[in-house]
Amino acid sequence: ILLEEAKILEFLEQHRYLNIIRYYGCTVNRGCITGLALKRHEVILQYCYEDVPHNLNIAACMAGIRASVRHLYS
């Protein structure tokens, strides 16, 4: 599974977009991928919504997700 994920992340890194997580590479041990290095985010979207729902701009968030998906399929 990690090989397929690494291939997808390599492709996404070559086609950078603002709302797609940053991929730094993978760790390999004895010829096998053992980990993926991604940018660390302070909080996940779920926690933003659950902790302070009134401060989350849902419309802007959804617009960013839609823009990312459009970028992936362009």
Domain ranges, ordered by start, for the chain: 2-72
Write the pLDDT tens digit of every residue in 5-52.
999 999 989 988 888 889 999 999 999 999 999 998 877 777 766 766
The DSSP symbol for 16 reads -
Give 53-65 pLDDT, tens digit per residue. Answer: 567 788 888 898 8
Q: Is the pTM of this model over 0.75?
A: no
Residue 41: per-residue pLDDT: 80
Listed residue (4, 55, 57, 60) closest to 33, CA to CA: 4
DSSP letters of 32-52?
EEEEEEE---SS-HHHHHHH-
**What mean pLDDT comes out for the span 61-73?**
88
| Joined tokens for residue 26 | 């993978």
